[in-house]
Structure 1
Amino acid sequence: MRESLETRLPRFSLNRRVTVLVMLVTVIVLGTVATIGIPLELIPSGMDHPSLGVVVPWRDAPAQETLEKVVRPMEEELSTVAGISDMFSNARTGQGWVWLNFKYGTDLDVAYREVRDRVERARSRLPEDIDRIFIRKNDVAGIPIYFLGLAIDPAVTDVYNLVQDEIVLPLSRIDGVASVEPQGLLEKEILIELDRDKTAAAGLDIYTLAQALGTDNFTLSSGNVRQGGSKLLLRSIARYDSIEQLENRPVSPTARLGDVATVRYDMPEQKFRVRAMSRPAVALAVLKEGDANTLEVAARVNEVVEQLRANPRLELVELAELFDQGDIIRESLGTLLASGRIGGLIALLVLFFFLRRFRMTLIVTLSIPLSIIIALTVMFFADESLNILTLLALMISVGLLVDNSVVVAENIFRLHRDGLEPRDACVRGAGEIALAIVMATLTTIAVFLPVSLVEGQGQFFLLRLSIPISVALLGSLLVALIFVPLSVFLTLPTHRQEEAAPHPVFNWLKKAYDGTFGWLNDVYTRILAFFMHRRLDLGMILVALFALSAVPFQKVKIVDTQDEDRGGFSVQVELPNNTTLEEAERYFLAGEAVIEEHAEELDLEGWFLFHRATFGEFQGWFRSPRTNKVSPREATRRIMEALPEKGGVRLFTGEDDATDDKKDKALHAFVLEGEDARELERVARDLEEIFLAVDGVLGVKKTEDQSPSELALVLDRERAQTQGIDPTVVSAVVGYALRGQALRRYSYQGKQIPVTVRFREQDRDSLDELSDFQVPAAHESTVPLSALTEPRYLAAAAQISRTNKKTGRNITLELEEGREEETRERLLAAAARIDLPEGIAFGRGDAAPQLGEDVLNMLFAAAISIVFIYLLMGFLFESFILPLSILCTIPLASLGVYWAHLVAGLDIDFLGVVGLILLVGVVVNNGIVLIDYVNRLREEGLSREDAVAKAAERRFRPIMMTALTTIGGMIPLTLGGASSIGLSYKSFGLTLIGGLTSATLLTLLVVPIFYTLFDDAREIMVGLLSRVRRRGAAVAGRPATTP
C-alpha cells in the first residue's frame, strides 16, 4: 500500500535505533577520512578546452619562410591526429607554432603520444638548424604551480650552469614536480665566427665549411672485434678535446679553422629580454605531475626555495616568488568556505526565527553537515577533488539541504500539536510528506540529466556540479526520512504537561514572527481567497508583470563571460616590423617605469616583462588580500593609457587573443581565408575599396605595419641553372651566413655545449656584405650571391595566422557612430553579392555575432530539464495536466532573474546560465509540496476550494523557510568578489536569489489558482471524453434500420 511504503523508513528509524546510530557513526567516520584525504585543487582537470600546442623556435627566420619550412610541414603531419576539432597555426619571425583543439572527451595523454609521434615524423622535413621542439599540453598539469624569479648579479660569469646545477636540478628532484622550465636563461656556446675575407681568400664558402664541420665531433659504435679470444666493442671517435684542437682543424690544404675564424666560448646573441621587478631576471616555471596534489607540491617547492636562499653558492642570486598556485588555492577555496560558513549561519538564524525551538533548529541544521559529509565521502571514493567548482556545488547545497528536513520536522510538530502521540506524529508526519519530498528532490537532480546531451564546457560544468549537489540532496533526503524522525521523537515531550514555559527570548521571537510572517500569512490567505473567484484578474496582472519586464529582458544579455576581477593583468605589445631589439628595450623600460609609478595606486605586488624586437608583454599581479577596488580591467586600461606613445605600436589585453578594437562597437571585421597570403592581400585591397563605398563606413583600420621590413633576394633560376647551383643551396648559404648553423654539441666535463658557425656581425650587417657571399657552384668553384639574385624591399607581415590550414587576412572597418547596426547590415549584404576568386572565402569574423556555443548548449539543457521535471510530476500526480500548474513557476522565476541582474547592472554570464538550469529544478519544489498536500486533503474529503485554502495556509511557513534559507545561503557568495582566476559568482548568485524570490512570492498565488484552472480543464476534458464514449456506445448499440 502507498502508506506503508511511505512510512517504511520512518518506522525503521524508530524501531532500529542502534542500527541508525551505527549508520550515523559510520557516515561521520568515513566523512572525516574523506575530508582529510580529498585532494585540493584550484581548477579541476579538463576545465579548459582539451588542446595541445607544438612550438618550433627557428632563430631569426622571417615569417614567410617559417610558414613554408616549419608550419606547413607540421600542419600536414599533425592533421592526421585523431579527434581534432580545430587547428590554429602561426608563423612569425623566429618561431612557428601549431595549436590543436580536440573534441571534448578526448584523452589528452593518448593525443599527446600521437602528437609526439607526428612531430618526430616531421623532423626530417624541417630545417637542420632547428634544435628543440616543444609540445604544450593545455590542461591543469600544464599550468605552472610556481614561478620563481631570479635576479642575478652581473659578476656571475657562468649563469646558465649555476642556475641549472644549483636551482633547476634541486627543484626538479622534488616529489611531484614534472619539470622546471627556465625563461630568459641563455646557455653559453662555442661560436665559430668566420672572417668573410679570409674565408674567400682560402677558397672556402660558409655552406661547404658548415657541411664539413657538421660531420665532425662524433662517437659511433662500429661493431665488435676479437682480440686474444675476447670480444670487444669497437668505437670510432672523432671528438674534439678542446677549443684549441677545434681551431687547429684543417679546412683546406693551406688553412686551419683558426686562420679563417675566431673560435670562442661566449654567450649567444640575445634576441629577447626578461625583467622582474624592474631588474634583469630569469624566471623558472615549475610544473607538477598530473596526479600530484598541488598544495603539497607547492609546499615542498617553498621548502626547497628557502634552502636555496641559504646556499652560499647562490649569494649573488636573489630569489623572489612571483607566483604560487598553492596560495591562490588556499585563498580561493578559503573565500568560498567563508561564504559557505556565513551562508550556513544565515540559514541557521532563519530557521531559528521560524521554528523558535532550539532542539528542532539544531536537528534541522545538522542535516547540512551530515549531507555534505555524505557528498564528500562519495567524491573522495570517486577520485574527485575539492576545487572551485565542487566547492561551489557544496555551497549551493547549503541552502537546499534543509528543505526536506524543514518540511518533515514542521509536519511532525504540527501533527504533535494537533494531538498525536510522539511516535505516531513522527511516523505519520514523515510518511505524509515522503513522496512529495522524494519527487521534489528528484526534480532538482533531474536538471542534471541532460548533461549527456550537452557538449563542450557546459557538459564539464554541469557534470562537476551535478555529483556533489545530487549526492548531497540524496543524502539530505535520507537524513530527513531516517535521522530527523528519530531525532524529533527523542526530543518531543512524552506528555503535554511536561512542556516548560517558553523563555522570554522565544516569546519575543514569536511576537516578531506574528508581526511579520504571521501577518503576511493572514494577508496571503485573504488575497488567495479573493483571487480564487477572480482568476482572470490574476491572469491580467501576470500579463502586466511580463509586459513591465520587457525592459530587463531587452537590456540584460546572456554573455559568455562577465567583466570581473582577476588576480592580475596582462598587456601585450606588438611593435613595427623594422624595430631593433635596442629600440624595443627602450620602449619596454619606459613602460616598466610607468608600471612602477602606478604600482601603489593599482595595488600591485609585483610585475614581470619579456620582449623581443617586435613583440613583448607586461604582466602584473595584485596584492592578496586586495586593499583597493581597482579592477584588473580598469588597471589594464590605466596602464595602456599611460604607456608611451610610439608610431605603429599595437596594444593587446591578456584576456583574449583579440585586440580591444574588436570589442569596439564602432568597428566591424571580415576575415578572408585562402592558401596564398599574397593573393589574399590583393583581394583584401579590392574588397576594402568596395566596403569603403558602403554608406556608414568611415575608413579601413590598419592592423598591420606596412613599412618595408623584409629584404627579399629574388633568385634568377636561369643563372643558377647555368652555374649548376641548386636553389636550396642559395637559401642555405644566406641562412648559414645570417642566422648561423648549429653543429654537433661539444662534450666537456659531462656537459653538452652548443656549437654554432656563422659570419662575424660586421660581415653580415649590410646589403653590400650580403651580396659578396660566395655560393658553391659546379667544378669546386664559387659564385657571388649578387650574380644570382636581385634584392627587393618588401612590406612583410610580422606574423601569418592560419585556421584549419587556411591563411587568414582581417579587414577591419571603422563605422559611423550611432549607425553601427544598419551599416553592418549593408556590409553583410555587400559581402553576399561579392564573387570571390576560387580558393578564397569569407571566414568566421564578427559578421554575425552569436551566443557562444557553450551557452546555447546550456540553454538547450535547461529546456530538456523542464521536460524531465514535467514527466516526474506526471508520475507523482497521475496527471498530464496538473503538473502544468507548477511549471508556470519557471517563467515567473525568470522575472526575478532579469530584474536582479538589471538592478545589479550585470549581464547573465556562463555561470548564470548554470544557475538558470539549477533554478528550474529548485523553484518547482514548493509547488510540488503544496499541490501534493492539496490532493491529500481532497482525498480526505475536503472540497477543492477548502483543500487549496488549507494547504496554502499550512504550507506558507515551510515554503518561506526553505526559500529564505536558500536565498540566505547565496547572499555571501553574491556579495563576494571573484576568485583569483577571475571566476565571478555574482551572476550565479543573482540568478538563484532573484529567481527564488519572484518564484516564491508568485508561486503562493499562481500555483493554487492555476491548479484550479487546470483542474477545471481536466474535468471538462474528462466530461467531453465521457460524452463521446457514451455517444459512441449508443450508436454501437442502436439496431440497424432498413431503408
Structure 2
Amino acid sequence: MKIAKLSVLRPIAMSMVIILMLILGAVSMRGMPVDLFPELTFPIVAVTTTYEGAGPEEIENLISSPLEDAMSTLPNVESVTSISRTGGSLVLVSFTWGTNMDFASLDMRERIDSVRDFLPSGANLPRVLRFNPSDLPIVQLAITDPSGEMTKAKQLAEQDIEPQLSSVDGIASISVEGGAENEVRITLDPNALSSFDVSIDQLQQIIAAENLNLPGGSLTDQNQNLPIRITGEYASIYDIQTLPIPTPKGVIQLDQLGEVKETLQPTTQLSYLNGEPAVGMSILKQSGSNTVTVANNIEEKLEEIRKNLPEGVEIKPIFDQSQFIEQSIRAVTTNMIAGSLLAALVLFFFLRNIRSTLIILFSIPVSIVATFIFMYFSGQTLNLLTLGGLALGIGMMVDNAIVILENIYRLRQKGYSMKDAAIEGTSEVGPAIIASTLTTVIVFLPIVFVDGLAAQLFKPLALVVSFSLLASLFTALIIVPLFSSLLLKVNTNTSRFEERFTGFTNWYRSILEKVLRNPKKTVTTIVILFLISLIGIPFIGKEFLPQQDQSFISMTVRLPDGSSLDATYDVMEEIDSRLSDIKDIDLAFVTVGGTDNFSVSAGTQTNRANYSILLTPVTERSRSDKLVGDEIRKKLENIPGADISLSSGDSGFSQNPVSLSITGPDLTTLKGMADETVELLTEIDGIREPSSNYTEGNPEIVVDIDRVKASQFGIGSAQIASAVSNATKGLVASRMARDGAELDIRLTIEDTYTASIQDLEKLLINTPTGENIPLQAVATVERGQGPSQINRTNRNREITVNADIVNRDLGSVIDDVEQTLKENIYIPNNQYKITIGGQDEQMNDAFFKLGGALALAVVLVYMVMAGQFESYFYPFIIMFSVPLTVIGIITGLLVTGQPLGVGSLVGMLILTGIVVNNAIVFVDYVNMMKRDGKTTWEAILIAGPTRLRPIFMTALTTILGLIPLTLGFGEGMEIQQPMAIVIVFGLSFATIITLVLIPVVYYLFDEFKEKRKLKKLEKLDA
C-alpha cells in the first residue's frame, strides 16, 4: 500500500509525526473533564410550586390542575404526572426521547406565564427544573459542633464556610440544610391586645414602618453639601421592646402587649451525623466541569477552612463522588495495563522475538494517544464508559498490527529485506484489515439512530471503541511497517515452540482435510451444538443495568402522615441505636423532616427521615452493599409505624426495579387493588419492601365558616383565615440586622388559643366595629381526615406500588410478578389498569431498540464486506461466523451467572463486528491462492495453516486483553463486565468453530457455484 511504502521510505518525517501525536495526545487527555458517567439529558422537566398552609385537595384544584392542563398541550409530551401534597405541588412532564429540552423548557415557562394569573395569590411562582443526574451533589458535608449550639453551626456554614467554598472553580451551587436559626419572637397576650384595642395587622404595619433607614435629602453647612440620613432600624431587642405603639387608650411600649425575646425559629427539618446534631451541605458542580478536579479543590479549600474553625467544630465528608470515580478509573486503568501485558505475552509466546513484541507493544500507546485526540475533539469526557470502551479496545487494538507484523515476519523468513518485507507484507493484507476494521466500526452506526437512556449511556462507549480501532488501523498501516523496516530481525534457529506449533498446524491441516471430506456431517454437528445452546436461554436472567457498589446506601423512613417532627426524631434515635451494631457502616447522616437532596419535591414532610449511609470501602468489606442493606432491613423490620425503604448501587438514572402503576376512577377500588398487590409481592422470592404511595390520609383540623353569621359581624373568610394563621404560625413583621446577619421579627399569639381544638374555638377575631368575637361564633371547628397527597397521571387517579429486588435478576422477578397478578388480582372493568413500569419498562425499551440496532449492524457488516470483496457471495459465507457466537454467549452468561442486560447487548453488537475479522482474513487469503491458480481444495488447505497463527494471535490478544474486565476486579467494573463476558466467550467459541466451519461452508458454496456454472455451460452448448 502507498501509505505503508511512504512510512518505510520516510522514517525521520514519520517519527516527527509520532512525537507530535504523543504531545497532542497528552494535552488532550489533560484537557478532558473527568466524570462518573457521560452527561445525560433526560426528557423530564419538573414544575414545583409551594402554597403554604394549603391542603392536598386545595393544591390539586387550585395549582396542579391548571398546570396539568397547560402542560398537556405541549408538543412531544409523553405523560404528565402531578403530586399534590400539603403545602406544595409537583408536576412532572415527560417528553419523548430526542426532544430538544432547551426549547421544551422555554415552552413550559411560556405556558406557566399564561396560567400564572389564575393561580392563588398566596402561591409562589412555579419553578421549572430540569432533571439531570449530573445535577446531583458531587460532595456532601456534615458540620458538627460538640457544644450543640446549632445556631452557631448553621451561621458558620452559611456566613463563613459557604462563601469560601463558593469561590472554588467549578462549583455551581451550595445548599445548607439542618441546624437552627435565631429570631426575635414577640409573643402577644390576647387579653392585652383586646384591652388596648390593637390587632396583629396593626402591629405588623407599625413594626415594619419603624424599621427603616431613609435618605432625607441634603443641606449645605460651612460650604459643604451634606446628605441627610434618617436612621430608624432596630439595633437591639431593647429597641423593639421599647417601641412606642399608639392605641385608642394612649401610647404604650410594645413589651406591654407581650413578651419580646430572642429564641430559635420554628423548624421542620433537623440533621444529625451518627446521632449528633449537624448541619448538612450539598455541593453541585457546574455542567462540563471536571468532577475530580472540583472535588479535590473543595478538599484543599476545606483544609484551609479547618485551620480557622472554632475549637471542636468538625467538617466531615458524607459523600464524595470523586472517590468512587478515582477508584473506578484506577481499576479501569489497571485492567488496561494488565490486558496490554497479557497481549504482549501472547505475542512473545507465538513469535519468540523480543523486537516483534516491542513493535506491537509500542503500537498500543500510540493507538491510545490517537484515541485521546479523537475523544478530545469530539467533546467526550473521561468516565467509566469511555475508559471502559478504551479497555475493550485494548485487545482489539493490536489485532491489525499483529496481522501485518506476522505477514512481514513470514516474508522476512522467506528472505525478503526489511524494507521490502514491510512494504510487501503490508500491501498483501492491508485491504483485508481495512475491511475487518470497518466491519467492527460500522456496527456502532445504528446506535446513532437509537434514542433512550441506553443509547445515551453507550454512544460515548461506541465512539471510543470506534476511535481506538481507527487509531489502531493507523498504527498498523504506518507505525508497524516503519519500525519493522528498521528493527525487525528473524530468528534463524528453529525454536522448540516453532516445532510444536508446526506440529499443531499439521494436525489442524489433517482436521481440515477430514471436515472437507465430510462437509455435511460437520455442518450438522455444529447446527446441533447451536440448537443445544439455545436450550439455555430460559435459564438466563434479564436486567436493565447492573447495580454498582458505591459504598453508599440511601434510606428513607416514613411515619404515618401527620406525625410531628418530635415523633420522627424519636424513631430516628431508635434506628441509630440499631445501626450502631453494623460494622460495615462508616457513618450515617440523617435529615429529619423536609425532603432529601436527591429528589425533586415540594411540601412539608415532618413525618419523613432521610438517611445517607456511608459504608467502609469495598476493599475493606467482605460483602456487597446489597447484603449490608439486607442486614439493615432485618435490624429495622420491627419498628412500629415506620415504613422503611433502602436503595443502593443507584447511578441516579435507573427507576425502581419493580414499579406497578394502578389507575382508575375510584380511589377506594384502587386502594384495595394496591393493598392486595403489596401482599402478593411480599410472597415473591427476591422482592424487598413492597409498598404503595397511598396513605390513609392526613389528620387535619377543618374550620367550616358560616358565611351568613360572619357577614352579620362584617367579616369575611379571608379575615378569619388570616386570624387563624397568625395565631398558629405567627407573622413575620420585619427583620433586624445584627453582626452581618438578619433575624426575623415574628409576631405570635400565646398558645392559649392553639393548645387544643377547644382553645382554638375561643380565638378572638376583631370586627370592623371594634368588637372581639370568638371563632366559634362564626365557624365550626372539628378534627378531620384529608388525603396526605394526591397522585394523577394524564389526569387519571393513580396509585404506584414499588419494590426493590435482592439476589435475583429483574426479568425472573417480573415474570413471577406478572404470573402472580394474572392469577390473583381481580380487575373490575376496562377503566382500571395495572401497568408494569420502572426498570422493566426501561429494560424492554432498551432491548427492543438495541435488538433493532443489532439486526441493522449485521446488514451493514454484510454491505461493507460486499463492497470490499466486490461480491455478494464471499460475504455471505463469512456471515456464517456470526450466529456461532450465540453458542459462546449463552455458555458464558450461564457459567458466570450473569443476566442478559443492556451491557450484554452492547457486547453482542461489538462482537458482531469482531467475529467476522478472522473469517475475512481467511477468505481473503483463499481467494488470493485461487487467483494464483490453486483449486478451492488446495487453496483452503494452504490458507488454513498459513492464517492459523495470526487468527490465534488476534483472538487471544482480544480475549486475554478483556480477561481483567471479565473478572470484574475493582470498583465500577459492573457495567463493563457483561460486555467483556459476552465478547470473551463469544469470540472464544466462534474462533474455534470458525476455523472449521468457514472452510467447509466456503467449499460447499464454491462447489455449488461451480456446478451452476457447468449447468449454464451445458445449456449453452446444447
Tell me the TM-score normalized by structure 1.
Answer: 0.85
Note closer, same or farther for the CA distance 1:193–1:100 as it changes in structure 2 (3 Å cut).
Answer: farther
Q: Secondary structure of the residue that 2:541 maps to in structure 1?
A: coil
Q: Hey, what's the Cα distance between the residues in 1 that align with 2:522 and 2:396?
A: 30
Name which of structure 1's ranges 893-902 and 736-745 shifts more when overlaid on structure 2.
736-745
**In the TM superposition, what is the alpha-carbon distance from 1:915 to its structure 2 partner?**
1.4
Higher mean displacement: 280-289 or 369-378:
280-289
Q: 2:438 aligns with which of 439, 442, 463?
A: 442
8 Å Cα contact 1:53-1:99 kept in structure 2: yes
- Structure 2 partner of 1:33: 27
Residue 654 of structure 1 aligns to which amino acid in structure 2?
S
Q: How does 1:596-745 map to 2 (within 5 A)?
A: 596-598=580-582, 600=583, 602=584, 604-612=585-593, 613-624=606-617, 626-643=619-636, 645-655=638-648, 669-672=660-663, 680-684=666-670, 704-706=694-696, 709-717=699-707, 719-720=709-710, 725-745=715-735
- Aligned with residue 881 of structure 1, among 873, 877, 901: 873
Q: Write the deviation string for residues 800-857 of structure 1: whole angstroms up to 9, x where unpaired.
A: 33445654224799xx9998655533568x53x7153xxx876665899783323322
Give yes or no for the alignment of 1:279 onto 2:268: no
| Correspondence for 2:909 | 917
Partner of residue 767, structure 1: 757
Query: Counterpart in 2 of 1:250?
Result: 245
Look up the equivalent residue of 2:301 and give its one-letter code. Answer: V
Check 1:346–1:812 CA distance in 2 against 1; reply closer, same or farther (3 A cut).
Answer: closer
Instruction: Report the alpha carbon displacement of residue 636 of structure 1 after superposing the two structures with TM.
Output: 0.6
Distance change (3 Å), C-alpha of 1:936 and 1:744? farther
Question: 2:140 corresponds to which residue?
Answer: 147
Could you tell me how far 1:224 is from its partner in structure 2?
A: 9.5
**Alignment-derived partner of residue 374 in structure 1:** 370
Structure 1 residue 948 corresponds to structure 2 residue 945: no
TM-score (norm 2): 0.86
Instruction: Tell me if structure 2 keeps the 8 A contact 1:372–1:472.
Output: yes
Aligned with 1:459 (options 439, 452, 455) = 455
Structural mapping, 1:433-512, within 5 Å: 433-493=429-489, 501=493, 507=495, 509-510=497-498
Which whole-Å CA distance do the structure 2 matches of 1:37 and 1:617 have between them? 38
In 2, Cα distance between the equivalents of 1:429 and 1:527? Answer: 28
**Deviation of the 1:304 alpha carbon:** 1.9
1:390 aligns with 2:381: no
The equivalent residue for 1:289 is 286
Q: 222-231 or 929-938: which moved more?
A: 222-231
Structure 2 vs 1, CA of residues 530 and 637 (structure 1 numbering), >3 Å: closer, same or farther? same
Q: Which residue of 1 is the match for residue 259 of structure 2? A: 262
The answer as to 2:916 corresponding to 1:935 is no
Identity across matched positions, percent: 26
Change (3 A) 1:84 1:300: farther
Query: Aligned letter for 1:543?
Result: V
Once residues 794 and 538 of structure 1 are traced to their aligned partners in structure 2, the CA distance between those partners, rounded to angstroms, is 80
CA positional deviation for 1:294: 2.7
Rate the CA distance shift 1:32–1:776 in 2: closer, same or farther, 3 A: same
Matched, 1:808 2:798: yes
CA contact (8 A) 1:209 1:251 kept: no
| 1:817–1:841 CA distance, 2 compared to 1 (3 A) | closer
In the alignment, structure 1 residue 891 sits paired with structure 2 residue 883: yes
Q: Does 1:860 align with 2:852?
A: yes
Alignment-mate amino acid for residue 15 of structure 2? L
Query: Which residue in the other structure is 1:988 paired with?
Result: 979
Q: Match of 1:172?
A: 166
The change in CA–CA distance for 1:783 and 1:890 in structure 2 (over 3 A counts) is farther
- Superposed displacement of residue 403, structure 1: 0.5
Q: Deviations over 1:985-1037 (max 9, x none)?
A: 22122111111112111111222222233444555666788899x69xx9xxx
In the alignment, structure 1 residue 566 sits paired with structure 2 residue 566: no
1 CA distance for matches of 2:72 and 2:204? 33
Q: Return closer, same or farther for 1:121/1:835 CA change in 2, 3 Å cut-off.
A: closer
Structure 1 residues 224 and 1008, CA, compared in 2 at 3 Å: closer, same or farther? Answer: farther
What letter corresponds to residue 268 of structure 2 in structure 1?
A: K
Q: 1:540 to 1:585 in 2, by over 3 A?
A: same
Aligned residue type for 2:529: L
Cα deviation, 1:707-726, whole Å, max 9, x if unaligned, reads 77233334445555665554
Q: Tell me the alpha carbon deviations over residues 45-66 of structure 1, each in whole angstroms, 9 at most, x when there is no partner.
A: 22x6354545556666544445
Q: For residue 968 of structure 1, what is the amino acid of its counterpart?
A: L
* Residue 994 of structure 2 corresponds to residue 1003 of structure 1: yes
Alpha-carbon separation, structure 1, partners of 2:173 and 2:656: 37
Flag the 1:570–1:688 CA change in 2: closer, same or farther, 3 A.
closer
Aligned equivalent of 1:966, options 940, 958, 961: 958
**Contact in 1 for aligned 2:245/2:253 (Cα 8 Å):** yes
Question: What whole-Å deviation, never above 9, does each CA across 1:301-347 have from its counterpart, x for those lacking one?
Answer: 22221122221x52241222223333332211111101111111111
Aligned partners of 1:691 and 1:697 also within 8 Å: no
From the superposition, tell whether residues 638 and 804 of structure 1 become closer, same or farther in structure 2 (CA, over 3 Å). Answer: same
- Higher mean C-alpha displacement, 850-859 vs 24-33: 850-859
1:315 corresponds, among 311, 314, 331, to 311
CA distance in 1, matches of 2:853, 2:86: 45
SS in 2 for 1:45: coil
Give the deviation of 1:399 after TM superposition: 0.2
Cα distance change of structure 1 residues 1023 and 775 upon mapping to structure 2, 3 Å threshold? farther
Of the structure 1 ranges 80-89 and 520-529, higher mean CA displacement relative to structure 2 is found in 80-89
Map of 1:187 onto structure 2: 181
Check the 8 A contact 2:143/2:153 in 1, yes or no: no
Decide whether aligned partners of structure 1 residues 795 and 364 sit closer, same or farther in structure 2, where only a CA change above 3 A counts.
same
- CA drift of 1:436 comes to 0.9
Where structure 2 has 5 or more consecutive residues not aligned to the other structure, the ranges are: 594-605, 685-689, 804-812
Structure 1 SS opposite 2:620: coil
Which amino acid in the other structure matches residue 942 of structure 1?
Answer: K
Change (3 A) 1:485 1:662: closer
Secondary structure of the 2:560 match is: coil
1:43 aligns with 2:37: yes
- Contact 1:34 / 1:376 at 8 angstroms: preserved in 2? yes
Alignment of 1:195-206 (within 5 A): 195-203=189-197
DSSP 3-state at the match of 1:852:
helix
Aligned in 2, Cα 1:855/1:690: closer, same or farther, shift over 3 Å?
closer
> Which residue is equivalent to 1:525?
509
1:538 is aligned to 2:522: yes
State the alpha-carbon separation in 2 of the partners of residues 843 and 730 from structure 1.
46
- Worse-superposed segment, 233-242 or 461-470: 233-242
Which segments of 5 or more consecutive residues in structure 1 lack a partner in the other structure?
Answer: 1-6, 675-679, 1035-1043
Q: Tell me, yes or no, if the aligned pair for 1:564 and 1:631 is still in contact at 8 Å.
A: no
> Which residue of structure 1 lines up, in the alignment, with residue 894 of structure 2?
902
Inter-CA distance 596–136: structure 2 relative to 1 (3 Å threshold): farther
Secondary structure of the structure 2 residue equivalent to 1:322: strand
Q: Is the 8 A contact 1:219 1:238 kept in 2?
A: yes
CA distance, structure 2, for counterparts of residue 651 and residue 394 of structure 1: 41
Q: Which residue matches 1:851?
A: 843
Asked if structure 2 preserves the Cα contact closer than 8 Å seen for 1:219 and 1:235, the reply is no
Contact 2:116/2:125 (<8 A) preserved: no
Q: What is the distance in 2 between the residues matched to 1:551 and 1:929?
A: 32
Shift of 1:296: 2.8
What are the within-5 Å matches in structure 2 for residues 1010-1021 of structure 1?
1010-1016=1001-1007, 1018=1009
Instruction: Note if contact 2:142-2:315 (Cα within 8 Å) is conserved in structure 1.
Output: yes
Contact 2:432 2:924 in 1 (8 A): yes
Distance 1:657 1:217 in 2: 53
For residues 211 and 168 of structure 1, the distance between their equivalents in structure 2, rounded to whole angstroms, comes to: 33
Q: SS of the counterpart of 1:280?
A: strand
Assess if the C-alpha contact under 8 Å between 1:136 and 1:142 holds in 2.
no
Matched residue count:
988
Partner residue of 2:403?
A: 407
Q: 1:653 is matched by which residue type in structure 2?
A: L
